[in-house]
A = this chain, B = another copy of it.
Amino acid sequence: MRLGPGDDAAILRLGDRAECVVTVDMLNDGIDFELGRVDPRRIGRKALAVNLSDLAAMAARPLAIVVAVVLPKRGGRELAWQLFEGMLPLAERYQVAMAGGDTNSWDGPLAICITAIGEVTGHGPLLRSGARPGDRILVTGAFGGSLLNHHLDFEPRVQEALLLNADYSLHAGIDVSDGLARDLAHICEESRTGAVVDIDRVPIAPAAYQMQDERTPREHALCDGEDFELVLAVPPEVARDLIASQPIGVPLTDIGEFTAELGLRQRSSTGLITALARNGFEHNF
């Protein structure tokens, strides 16, 4: 094993050269989705997409998945088919082989577990631990309000990660499942750096404005999670090139920098630097 628990996926060495990237995610009824309130095809799609997103976070090319599922007894057969139907277009788009599975049924609720296997590409696997002070924080897409729809329909950033990792020297990466601030903190911890976020530059998704609660759109963008966008640590000169050329279909935004000083901080448009909580709330001191 070259890389064990703690990153988005594990890396195994096979034979002399080949490296195999492995990740697993289990989705559960009532926690990750509500069966009966959503088309099961979207659940199947999400179960695959979250795994592909983990591979994208490592800039690994997806090769195959194995799927284990436990179905409620009532309607289980039809449900299994719908889950599969939901996975199929995504599997085809990314040329992922459905290599095997295990189908069970019980009196309990639906649980679906996918393990995805990929191969290392380009400049090698993108780890959480490679960020260096001075690196820019680049993100794909926009953040917040994923709960309204995006968490079921998001496009894993597979192609974007492969393209970036083939043509550019990136230092670290993660996909945002826990929330932008939290996942940025994960890179910082593994890289033993801190980060300063230029708070006004954080791209806020339209859905973040549609959330009906006490949080601001920006707070949603920082804390909601399940955006499944990439957060990258990129050397400054490479970041400048990327921001200028925008070589992938999805917008890349520079939202700050990694620092030698530990901890998450935010910089306002006036230049004021304050602490940034991992849960994304902007505390006023």
Contact = CB atoms under 8 A, between A and B. Distances in A.
Interface string A19-33: 110111110111100
A11 to B, nearest CB: 8
A97 B102 CA distance: 22
Number of copies: 2
B99 A66 contact: no
Interface string A67-108: 111100000000000000000000000000111111011111
Contact of A22 (B4, B31, B66, B69): B66
B108 A28 contact: yes
A36 interface: no
A272 interface: no
The SS class assigned to the A binding surface is strand
A17 B104 CA distance: 34
Interface residues of A, number: 46
A199 interface: no
A25 B101 CA distance: 8
A1 interface: yes
B23 A20 contact: no
**Interface core residue of A66, A67, A104 (most chain B CB under 10 Å):** A66
Contacts of A10: 64, 66, 97, 99-100
A24 B64 contact: no
